[in-house]
Amino acid sequence: MMVVLLVLPLLGTLFMLLWPKIAPLLALLTASVCSLAALQLLFLVSEQGNQQVLLAGWPSGLAISLEANSLSSLLILLTALLQLLVGLYAFATHRRDKLGAGFWPLSCMLQLGLTALWLSRDLFNLYVCLELLGIVAVALVSLSGDKAIKPALNYLLLSLFGSLCYLLGVAILYGAYGVLDITVLAARWQADLPSSIALLLMTLGLMLKAALWPLHGWLPAAHAAAPAPVSALLSALVVKGPLFILCLLWLQLAGATQVAAVAPWFAGCGLAALLLGGVSALRTPFAKNMVAYSTVAQLGYAMLALGLLLRFNQPLFAAALWLFVLAHALAKAACFLAIGEITATLGGKRINTLKGASQTMPLAMFAFAVAGGSLIGLPPSGGFLAKWALLQGLWLQGGQLFWLLAIVLATLLSAAYVFRAVVLAFDRADPVAPDFAPRILPQWLALLPALAVWAMALYSEPLLQLLKQEGL
Amino acid sequence: MTDLSSQLLLYIGTAAGLFGIGLYGFIVGPQTLRRILALNIIGAGIFMLMVVLAYRGLAEEAALTLTDPVLHALILTGLVVAVSATAFALALLTRLNQAKSAQCKPDQLRHGQEPEQ
């Protein structure tokens, strides 16, 4: 099953390059088959426990091993479903938005890189996945033409630098321990100086790639310059890859003293991302930049949850961390698709373009508002679920008034930037006239993930249980 | 990590030096081409470190006679990735320069396609 999930996108990409004419069809087909396979993998894992595959039957240690637990199969399912949805959106709008033909094979490669990343438990395989993901993401950003080249190049340079830092860490760890497999490495782990240096280098590289504060500078420009479907994929999925590896490193490898030293820094960075990212989202005059800054802010929640999880070792924080990742992926895909659709139809990049959008494009605006509700954390959305887990964990620890207040402040900030757009949309006095008749299908496609994130609340109990026990 | 002969130390020092030079170039260098080259120098430093570690990563008595094939495989993979990434970066840089020179002559563009909106 896992091999199918990897081979299928690869084959799909090859065939797309051979027959570019039916590339959209192939992309949709690949994504839908992969979604089914991912669903089956999820069932398999929930029934029979963790699955492991050693490629080509080599003994463990030599073979490339793939491991699926329920978290990674959930993430694979999310990846495949979002890929399908964004593929449909891109198919519905590619003539109008002049989306390059390169989108289809590249998005398929993106799916391959992400799936491989969720399944790998080997430091070097993870490096290869990271590189693949970074290069494909940059190529996708550069699809939107000349104005995107500069941010794309900047993204590429920083992403390469991040990967090199990660690679240096891998080299040091291999030199010290002689293994790359994370579980074996964790058994031999000693919290000495080389391993601390290696961990710090890898953390630096991954934070740069995941755009975690204070290394987030490249993200708003790159995500805002990309075409709408690409921004949706990048914000929803790509930045989560390095975050996943970061969690693997710190939750499975690092020794107790190392964890204790770094946990407050992680929590502090998360808090700074929440506040400063929120303020930037509130101040920026461009609609897509606002959503991109909101990604920076929301990644702060994940970082904060990771820091608190490392500090208190409370399973509720693990649940909060992964719930944030899931809810943010769905909500951000909806936001980017909705904003992309609105700005394309109303013809403008500034937030002022949204003026009167509740009248001219009610569906897309509804999608944005509903997804924004999850970003704020309004009950009963997925974002609320995550925030509730975080608050409950803090409450159970007791005496964490500072963090509780900080989260309240961050929530107010995210409410402010979401409502800034929504209020403009309800200003019906002088609405911006659409350049052409708004299309229904893309708006519905933008609404789907927004509804899905609210539907997460229906499955809150099993999700919480699953993520609490998993936590990697 | 205890028995380091002076030769190995020299190699490791060189690798660290290369990494440092590359890091300096990447952070300081204002031109994109220089930053791409600096990334390559960082990569060279890391690969050199890995080559050296391949000699001393094994058991003590076997060191310097046998090398660790896993690290060599990793270096090969890393080189392939580095070369393709560099090629991609250079291609992007070329397109950036083309776009810039096209912007400088908007009169010519007006006949052809729209300049950047």
The tens digit of pLDDT for each residue in A128-169 reads 999 999 999 999 998 888 888 888 999 999 999 999 999 999
The whole-angstrom distance between B35's CA and the closest CA on chain A is 8
Does the CB of B57 have a partner CB in chain A at under 8 Å? Answer: yes
pLDDT of B62 over the 70 cut: no
A340 in Cβ contact with A371 (< 8 Å): no
Chain A with chain B: Cβ pairs closer than 8 A: 82
Q: What pLDDT, on a 0 to 100 scale, did the predictor assign at position A160?
A: 92
Tell me the two tokens of residue A130: 């990271």
Q: Which of A424, A146, A430, A446 lies closest to A285 in space, CA to CA? A: A424
* Cβ pair A135:B84 closer than 8 A: yes
Q: Is the pLDDT of residue B116 over 80?
A: no
Residues of A in contact with B35 (CB under 8 A): 157
Kind plus residue range of the DSSP H or E element containing A4: helix A2-18
Please report how the helices A401-425 and A362-376 are oriented relative to each other, as an axis angle in degrees rounded to 10: 170
CB contact under 8 A, A161 and B77: no
- Measure CA A190 to chain center: 32
CB contact under 8 A, B43 and A128: no
Helix H segments across A313-439?
315-346, 357-360, 362-376, 382-397, 401-425
Min distance A178 CA to chain B CA atoms (Å)? 6
CB-CB contact of A457 with A385 (8 Å): yes
Dihedral sign computed on CA atoms, order A361, A364, A370, A371: negative
**Which residues of chain B make contact with A150, given a CB cutoff of 8 A?**
96
Q: Is A188 on the interface with B (CB under 8 A)?
A: no
Using the predicted structure, report yes or no on whether residue B57 has a pLDDT greater than 60: no
Contact A164 B39 (CB under 8 A): yes
Q: How far is CA A83 from CA A29, A79, A159, A296, B15, in A?
A: 11, 6, 22, 22, 41
Of the candidates A153, A171, A194, which has its C-beta nearest B93's C-beta?
A153
Is A468:A315 a contact under the CB 8 Å cutoff?
Answer: yes
Cross-strand bridge partners of residue A51:
A68
User: Predicted confidence band at B2 (pLDDT cuts at 50, 70, 90)?
Assistant: very low
Measured between alpha carbons, how far is A340 from A337 in angstroms, rounded to an integer? 5
Residues 404-443 of A with CB under 8 A from B: none
Residue A350, beta-bridge partner list: A286
- A134 → chain B, closest CA residue: B85
Q: What is the pLDDT of residue A52?
A: 83
Q: Name the closest residue on chain A to residue B74, using Cα atoms.
A: A124
Q: Which two tokens stand for residue B1?
A: 């990590």
- For the record, the structure tokens of A321 come out as 């961390």
Phi-psi region of A181 (alpha: psi -120 to 50; beta: other; left: phi over 0): beta
- Could you say which residues of chain A have pLDDT below 70? 470-472
More confident residue, A87 or B107: A87
Q: What is the mean pLDDT of residues B37-50?
A: 92
Alpha-carbon distances of A115 from A209, A244, B41, rounded to whole Å: 17, 12, 31
Test B46 with A171 for CB contact under 8 angstroms: yes
Interface test with A, best of B33, B74, B101 (most A CBs within 10 A): B74
Chain B contact for A444, CB < 8 A? no
Strand positions, DSSP E, A254-390: none
Q: What is the DSSP letter of A111?
A: H
Neighbour count for residue A59 (Cβ, 10 Å): 7
**A174 and B CB contact within 8 Å:** yes
- Residue A55 token pair: 């490629």
**Contact status of B89 with chain A (Cβ, < 8 Å):** yes
Look-up: residue for tokens 């929640």?
Answer: A301
On whether the CB atoms of residues A353 and A342 are closer than 8 A, the answer is: yes
Domain boundaries, chain A: 255-472
Q: Which residue type sits at A127? A: Y
Tell me how far apart the alpha carbons of residues A239 and A139 are, in angstroms, rounded to a whole number: 15
What is the sign, positive or negative, of the torsion defined by CA atoms of A348, A354, A357, A361? positive
Q: Is residue A211 left, alpha or beta, with left meaning phi > 0 and alpha meaning psi from -120 to 50?
A: left
Q: List the one residue out of A354, A366, A367 whose CA is nearest residue A425.
A: A354
What is the residue type of A392? Answer: Q
Nearest CA in chain A to B56: A175
**In this structure, which amino acid lies at residue A466?**
L
Q: Does the beta carbon of B39 lie under 8 angstroms from any beta carbon of chain A? A: yes
d(CA A234, CA A77): 16
Residue A44, chain B, CB below 8 Å: the answer is no
Q: What value does the mean pLDDT take over residues B43-66?
A: 72
CA A186 vs CA A164, A280, B68: distances in Å: 22, 39, 21
Chain B residues lying within 8 Å of A127, measured CB to CB: 78
In the block, which residue shows the tokens 């963790």?
A50
Q: Which one-letter amino acid corresponds to residue A179?
A: V
A194 contact residues in B (CB cutoff 8 A): 1
**CB atoms closer than 10 angstroms to residue A399:** 8
Class (C level, CATH) for B6-111: mainly alpha
Q: Is B35 on the interface with A (CB under 8 A)?
A: yes
Which residues is A120 bridged to in the sheet? Answer: A66
Q: How far apart are CA A259 and CA A2, in angstroms?
A: 32
In this prediction, residue B3 carries a pLDDT of 52
How far is it, in rounded angstroms, from Cα A295 to Cα A278? 9
pLDDT score of B115 more than 50: no
Residues of chain A in contact with residue B93, where contact means CB-CB under 8 angstroms, are: 153
The Cα angle at residue A298 between residues A295 and A302, in degrees rounded to 5:
125
- Is B3 touching A (CB cutoff 8 A)? no
- For residue B46, give how far its alpha carbon lies from the nearest alpha carbon of chain A (Å): 6
Q: pTM for this structure?
A: 0.90
Share of chain B above pLDDT 70, in %: 75
Strand partners, A65: A54
The answer to whether A227 and A147 have CB atoms below 8 angstroms apart is no
Q: Is A470 exposed, middle or buried (0-12, 13-18, 19+ CB in 10 A)?
A: middle
